[in-house]
Amino acid sequence: MRTSLGKSHAATQGWASPNTEAAYTRAWELCQHTRDTSWLFAVLWGLSQVSIVRADLSKHREVSTQFLSLAAQRSDTILLVVAHWLTGVNLWHVGDFATALVQLEKAYACYDPRHHTTYVTQFGVDVGVFTLSYLSHALWGLGYPQQAVERSREALALAQEVQHPFSVALAHAYAAMLQQFRRAPRTAHTHVELTLRVCAKHGFAYYLAWATIIQGWVLAVAGRREEGRTQLQQGLTTLHATGGGLRSSYYLLLLAEAEREGGQTAERARVLEEASRQLEHTQECWVAAPLSCLRGDAWLAVSPANPLAAEACFQHALEVACSQHAKSWELRAATGLARLWQAQGKRQAAYDLLVPVYTWFTEGFDTADLQEAKQLLATLSEELSCPWGERSSTS
């Protein structure tokens, strides 16, 4: 009964709401006084979601480790799906994309839709949909944009097949975020609208706030800055009301982009400072590189004649992305730094920096980041008076 109450609160108020936490905490206390362990994993699942949505990654790691340890002692594969998924999620948020991918792939390898979709009543969401959604984000980070989209489509198809509204809302919300990563506002808008529709119909507060935030970004980059800014702030307010702290730096990053579209340099700097403070607090290192890139852009806008601070930000973003094997973020950082060096007349250095990053990619050439990198390389090649791909500092 307590887990049912927790799932109900999670859907309508958000995973991080006090009522959701109270229901699962009480359920955990009851589990300690009974030999019936049938609901133990559902309770641990609930506690894990409370901690992750509140951005308490340390607590989430603790619960995830406990879940994995207990699941290894059972023969039920759905428990292994959840255990590996929980581990992968934690790793993704701290920026360990490669290891996260391994865990998420293990989770999906154990998932069997013929048998495991029935567990949606126990966990409140289809775990296969959740796993595929996170797989799409992990693949994006590691530099596989097309594979990321394919996994996202699989998540959407599975959610529709399961016909579970909360899972449908979740799949579209993650798809919208993936398209934001890809800087594809039109496609993101499609998923945002579908998320909002499902959330409004069923009263899903958390993903309603999430979709409203991304909708604000879509409007801002489309030139409707004031409307977009209002939507972003409304979404942030709604999200905070649910108790959610996860991805706070990322959402502020989107707000900063909206401020950039309107030329509000001072306000953008303030928002980016707050995003950096949130990152330090939550340790969600997955967003560290793109945040540092945006800080570099902000410094150039404030002080174009003194590019040292901007260069340091791009260098930091590049170092973080390389340490995380996050090729998509590495490309964005390398493009920003190469563009800065080009403006300083250091065209050869810019070319040599960007070529190996760009040529590493084997897919996703329709994405904005790869198209911009390609165009910059073509321009640099012309300025260096050499055919594209033939010049290097060693030649």
Residues of the chain with pLDDT > 70, as a percent, come to 92
Asked whether the beta carbons of 332 and 291 are under 8 A apart, the reply is: no
Q: Which two tokens stand for residue 149?
A: 């989209």
Give residue-wise pLDDT tens across range 93-137: 999 999 999 999 999 999 998 776 667 877 888 999 999 999 999
pLDDT greater than 50 at residue 262? yes
pLDDT greater than 50 at residue 393? no
Distance CA(272)–CA(228), nearest Å, equals 17
Residues 249-278 as b or e (16 or more Cβ within 10 Å = b): bbbbbbbbbbbbbeebeebbbebbeebbeb
- Read off the pLDDT band of 317 (50, 70, 90): very high
Asked whether the beta carbons of 170 and 53 are under 8 A apart, the reply is: no
Query: What is the model's pLDDT at position 38?
Result: 62
Count CA atoms within 13 Å of residue 115 on its CB side. Answer: 8
Give residue-wise pLDDT tens across range 339-368: 999 999 999 999 999 999 999 999 999 999
Q: Where in the chain is the domain with CATH 1.25.40.10?
A: 164-274
Q: At 91, phi and psi to the nearest 5?
A: -65, -40
**Whether CATH 3.40.920.10 fits 164-274:** no
Question: Any idea which of 2-6, 85-89, 189-193, 262-266 has the lowest mean pLDDT?
Answer: 2-6
Query: What is the model's pLDDT at position 141?
Result: 98
Distance CA(325)–CA(318), nearest Å, equals 10
Pure H helices in 73-126? 77-93, 97-110, 113-116, 120-123
pLDDT greater than 70 at residue 301? yes
Query: What is the model's pLDDT at position 13?
Result: 75
Residues of the chain with pLDDT > 90, as a percent, come to 74
Secondary element (H or E) of residue 29: helix 18-31
Give residue-wise pLDDT tens across range 171-213: 999 999 999 999 999 999 999 999 999 999 999 999 999 999 9
Query: What is the model's pLDDT at position 1?
Result: 47
Give residue-wise pLDDT tens across range 30-87: 777 666 566 788 888 888 988 999 999 999 999 999 999 989 888 789 999 999 999 9
Average pLDDT for 231-254? 94
| pLDDT averaged over every residue in the chain | 91
Domain 284-395, architecture per CATH: Alpha Horseshoe (1.25)
Q: Which two tokens stand for residue 280?
A: 């330090």
Distance CA(38)–CA(253), nearest Å, equals 42
